[in-house]
Structure 1
């Protein structure tokens, strides 16, 4: 391949649009992987050649590693400081199949006294491409990562809450040897579970490429600072984009189809052996869905009559905050996103940690397969000894349109008696549920579950068709419409043990006197409730 240096430099400067130091590094020198022995024929293993090109660029003080069109079978690629990986159109980097080529991915790196999260979250190195402690790095271009040889499962958490678990001290072993007492972890040697894996990195750009079948995690960033993830197309069978304990991150203009797990998720795990806030995060202009894997990538979405959902009731594909919450979350903005046939937006704290100042706005949710909007506090406390239950406050939902809401799944705010959720507001919501709720359902008292994960399916059906709030303080609903396609005997809103709140300017299908039900509440103002004619 003949490289036109001027054209590539101009293209990269335009594409990166980031800090000058990263642009200078990316355009200082070009390294064609075929010069280093890569074949791109879909038969040879090319990871050694690509890693040599990356190392050469790194030793040169930075540069751009160019992957021309072709199919490159690879084990772990290791991205280094001031290196940009440029994926040319027609380039496919495919995760090598361990059943055919052997178990040659890089090994797990973490040795922790307790592993409070799954193996896949704890370890960054078993990946198709990863960077650990790198600065000024980028992966750009219109190529494809195909995770064919990656695994999508792995060992669960190892901590004091697991039956029969014993610490390294109790076993009289080193941390490493204690971890390897678990046969499931030993069985992971040489396998990989992530496509793009970032750990302890700073100044990162991921732009324009695609991921198909990305393993357990398609893109995972842990304890990184100043990250831009822009215009990715991810179509996978587990998580799409995971941001764990990171700061100053933008996830923009991405399309993520993830039928069997979360599409875009923020975490704050204990995978670094300490608590780290996930903060200053923007998710904007993204589309998430849970159609069958490959349908978005191939453009083969099912043709359905208007309003009829794709028949996949187990779909996930949502935006979520708080699967792990040890460190906490603050200053999060989710805006201008479309969620189509997926679970709704679920946020909360279950392992301690503080969640505050989260804004969710200008969202369109079509045919959600469970609760469209939900804030949850629980006390699973998969965390170090002595961890408190945490807190949730200042959550804002505004300008959100939801259609096709299933009968038993309303929006919700669910705290616990010793974990009251504070200051949650809903404004300019337009929610259309399918209706069909009964008078018996209107009288229900949903099950309380203090020690639980973030999931809330155990509460359905809810006694309201629009919004149910319990164990909360200062809940506001303003200028919103809760409609139904068919008659529903439940009220639009039920507040249960809520202290302080306002319902103002509500339009619903129920008589104004029956639209809002208060159960053991104090200081709630209800004004301007009207019926949809």
Structure 2
């Protein structure tokens, strides 16, 4: 194993000179097993392509900054053509338009303790080209002007030259990401699609949109990561159609992680700011662990353990595009200052998938040893199936939920619609008619040591069951 210093290939590391060619030259010159080192310095770069059996090390004091095409006279790789981009947005459908990509490779790694700063990346991107469009945006975005929506979902032509991911992994095997920091990661700090044997450990991510997205991947470990993403999800599992198949996300472990929705950049700075109240979707700040929304494929054998949610939305398990979620366990979760439902299970029928898709399933889900405090009062924990497609066999064990209270009798009298094809968010149903737990269209629900309380009076019932059998 040799250590190749990028400075020996012409990298300057002064924060002004473009070092793309020098860093890429070092990567290309590496033999299998070699380590490419970025020593202390400030390296400005456009797209870098990792090669099989090559390991990138960002040493202490290293800053790898994503260059800005407007300021630095260069460009990111163009987004590759994708004939399967109909059913998911632009960001999920392309990988080359990134600061670092690892495509069709095996046995690669990026390790720290340096910093990746995505200053020159964009966090925006077009939505899907799906014609039906139902469920494309959350209902909380109703009423936004065409101008406002155009900022959040620009035309594809506007993405030329731009990068919108810090790290993209696609069809790769044996990828390890460890011990570094990502600040301002663009649309995705990390997007992994169709990867097997992926390990993500001890990262600090403080980003302006998604944190870690795992899409159609198998045998994944996400461990010891701190992810702050007030504007979108922190750690999210997906199963899109981006690779032209319903590829399941399975055998995933998320453990000992912290997710949050503090002001952007303030987890990294240590100040943990709380001035931002809403995400771009006009719901409260995000920063959660989630399965979905892209769900044309299945999710199997998912384990989420010993994780902390702070000033964020709660745990969400959603399948709305035909996929099945089964054999999922979430345990030993601590939640503080939760901005929507602390637990949200949703089986819907958006069906943003190839022709012939039918509603999927959620079954065999266990959530145990959970404490959530400081929950905003609008939304109870929700287990929401469909009339002909109930959620099956859910266990809530040793779960303690403490809400702020304040619900009214008129809230209790509400009868929210099914909204089967809407984008899944707790806010889709409006203020819920129970304050603690609302379950609708569920077959097989077990509650053990389940406690819901409020810190101020609430006129709504604590628990509401509708079309729930085998309780």
Superposition TM-score tier, normalisation by shorter sequence:
over 0.9
**Is the aligned partner of 1:443 residue 2:413?**
yes
Which of 178, 196, 202 pairs up with 1:225? 196
Contact 2:15 2:43 in 1 (8 A): yes
Identify if the C-alpha distance between structure 1 residues 352 and 332 changes in structure 2 by more than 3 Å, giving closer, same or farther: same
Contact 1:291 1:312 in 2 (8 A): no
Specify the SS of the correspondent of 1:431: strand
**Is the aligned partner of 1:43 residue 2:16?**
yes
**CA apart distance, 1:420:** 1.0
Which of 324, 328, 339 pairs up with 1:358? 328
Matches for 1:256-335 after TM superposition, within 5 Å: 256-302=227-273, 312-313=277-278, 314-335=284-305
Instruction: Please give the alpha-carbon distance, in whole angstroms, between the structure 1 residues aligned to 2:369 and 2:440.
Output: 23
Instruction: State which drifts further: 226-235 or 112-121.
Output: 112-121
TM-score with structure 1 setting the length: 0.82
Which of 29, 47, 55 pairs up with 1:56? 29
Aligned match of 2:75: 104
Aligned match of 1:115: 86
Specify the SS of the correspondent of 1:341: strand
Contact 1:103 1:189 in 2 (8 A): no
**CA apart distance, 1:454:** 2.0
Instruction: Please give the alpha-carbon distance, in whole angstroms, between the structure 1 residues aligned to 2:154 and 2:380.
Output: 42
Instruction: Please give the alpha-carbon distance, in whole angstroms, between the structure 1 residues aligned to 2:319 and 2:249.
Output: 13
Aligned match of 2:39: 68
Instruction: Please give the alpha-carbon distance, in whole angstroms, between the structure 2 residues aligned to 1:287 and 1:329.
Output: 22
Contact 1:74 1:96 in 2 (8 A): yes
Aligned match of 1:125: 96
User: How big is each residue's C-alpha offset from its partner over 1:485-522, in whole Å with a ceiling of 9 and x where there is no partner?
Assistant: 11222222110011111xxxxxxxxxxxxxxxxxxxxx
Identify if the C-alpha distance between structure 1 residues 49 and 374 changes in structure 2 by more than 3 Å, giving closer, same or farther: same
User: How big is each residue's C-alpha offset from its partner over 1:253-274, in whole Å with a ceiling of 9 and x where there is no partner?
Assistant: 0000101010010000000011
**Is the aligned partner of 1:459 residue 2:410?**
no
Contact 1:310 1:341 in 2 (8 A): no
Matches for 1:35-434 after TM superposition, within 5 Å: 35-57=8-30, 60-112=31-83, 114-162=85-133, 184-302=155-273, 312-313=277-278, 314-434=284-404
**CA apart distance, 1:377:** 0.9
Instruction: Please give the alpha-carbon distance, in whole angstroms, between the structure 1 residues aligned to 2:98 and 2:334.
Output: 34
Instruction: Please give the alpha-carbon distance, in whole angstroms, between the structure 1 residues aligned to 2:449 and 2:457.
Output: 22
Contact 1:224 1:245 in 2 (8 A): yes
Contact 2:263 2:275 in 1 (8 A): no
User: How big is each residue's C-alpha offset from its partner over 1:85-134, in whole Å with a ceiling of 9 and x where there is no partner?
Assistant: 01000100000011112351111113215521010100011000011011
User: How big is each residue's C-alpha offset from its partner over 1:260-298, in whole Å with a ceiling of 9 and x where there is no partner?
Assistant: 010010000000011100000000000011010010000
User: How big is each residue's C-alpha offset from its partner over 1:451-492, in whole Å with a ceiling of 9 and x where there is no partner?
Assistant: 112223121311211100001111111112211111222222
Contact 2:296 2:322 in 1 (8 A): yes
Instruction: Please give the alpha-carbon distance, in whole angstroms, between the structure 1 residues aligned to 2:192 and 2:92.
Output: 10
**CA apart distance, 1:184:** 2.1
Instruction: Please give the alpha-carbon distance, in whole angstroms, between the structure 2 residues aligned to 1:331 and 1:185.
Output: 36
| Structure 1 residues without counterparts, runs of 5 or longer | 1-27, 164-181, 303-308, 502-533
Higher relative contact order (CA 8 A, sep 6+): 2
Instruction: Please give the alpha-carbon distance, in whole angstroms, between the structure 1 residues aligned to 2:62 and 2:303.
Output: 34
Aligned length: 448
Contact 1:468 1:493 in 2 (8 A): yes
**CA apart distance, 1:422:** 0.5
Contact 1:346 1:373 in 2 (8 A): yes
**CA apart distance, 1:311:** 5.9
Contact 2:368 2:397 in 1 (8 A): yes
Runs of at least 4 residues off by over 4 Å: none
| Structure 2 residues without counterparts, runs of 5 or longer | 135-152, 279-283
Specify the SS of the correspondent of 1:243: strand
Contact 2:325 2:362 in 1 (8 A): yes
Instruction: Please give the alpha-carbon distance, in whole angstroms, between the structure 2 residues aligned to 1:154 and 1:93.
Output: 23
**Bigger Rg, which one:** 1
**CA apart distance, 1:418:** 2.3
